[in-house]
Amino acid sequence: MNTPLRVAFAGTPAFAARALEAIIDAGFDVPLVLTQPDRPAGRGMKLTPSAVKQIALKHGIEVDQPERLRTVEQRARLAASTPDVLVVAAYGLILPPAVLQLPRLGCLNIHASLLPRWRGAAPIHRAIEAGDRETGITIMQMDEGLDTGPMLMRHALSIAADDTTGSLHDKLAELGATSIVEALRLLPAGGLVAEVQPLDGVTYASKIGRNDAEIDWRRPARDIECAVRAFNPFPGAVGHLRGNLIKLWSARIVDAQGVPGEVLQADEAGVVVACGDGALCFTELQRSGSRRMGAGEFLRGFAVNAGETFSLENPAAA
């Protein structure tokens, strides 16, 4: 009888938790899980364990939450777990060479893009924002660079016209889970062929900041519609009207023209705003301090009139 592969796991959010569940369900021996320290969350800012930690505790798996992995002491529990391989998914810490060299079969990363496109922290957001029609999962052998290691497996996934970062995240989490199980089954027998990433096509998915979601109404409607979907559910695309911050959650392109930022129509069907090329009808909106609402309900609480103009820049930054 073959001894199960010993798979240590490092990850933090829901994307990683789905992969950990799949690895456990597939029967691999998981001696240790690494995850970020508990963070304050919710209205009460109560210390809350990560999604990965919750899965690990549910299955009785040992959890370690070091702030860094730079010292021998910080790496001690990982070393003592003697993993054959370390699987990493959205962990949030850079792995030093000592960690990369620790497992006999190395460290595998589950990356939510078709490398070398969208290396970096926010590949799902940036793929939608750029209007990409396809993304996927890459299983990569980790090296010391930023998502630069050789590729072991790639599975493509079409991006639907109505995909948000939230919906695409869930699809990619499932694909990542099935892909890593497939890779781990092939790994011990040398069934994975490492492919060096090409130099052509490299792009970087920088971390999402709140300022990224500020709408520039001078851009084409198509670009802004992609941004609205990219920043749903975080941080939410933002416009400013009469000094009020308005989050714009859902939009469709309409055949209309006007001065960029000008409200062309506002009724139950939506708030139509002119862009640099074309216009968008926003059907779900949210005023600061309130909740997301359909256009009709939003307008009953916050009047918007044709002829008004959304600010081209954030008034707070002016």
Q: Where are the domains of the chain?
A: 7-205, 210-317
pLDDT at 51: 98
Question: Is it the case that residue 121 has pLDDT exceeding 70?
Answer: yes
Going from the C-alpha of 33 to that of each of 36, 53, 100, 151, the distances in angstroms are 10, 8, 16, 24
Question: Is it the case that residue 75 has pLDDT exceeding 90?
Answer: yes
Residues 6+ apart with CB under 8 A from 287: 244, 245, 246, 247, 298, 301, 302
Instruction: Render pLDDT for 229-274 as a digit per residue (tens, 0 to 9).
Output: 999 999 999 999 999 999 999 999 999 999 999 999 999 999 999 9
Asked if the bond preceding 233 is cis, omega within 30° of 0, the reply is yes
- As assigned by CATH, the class of the 210-317 domain is alpha beta
Is residue 263 within 8 A of residue 306, CB to CB? The reply is: yes
Instruction: Render pLDDT for 87-115 as a digit per residue (tens, 0 to 9).
Output: 999 999 999 999 999 999 999 999 999 99
Domain 7-205 has CATH 3.40.50.170: yes
pTM (two decimals): 0.95
Question: Is it the case that residue 120 has pLDDT exceeding 90?
Answer: yes
First to last CA, the chain: 69
Band of the pLDDT at 317, cuts 50, 70, 90?
low
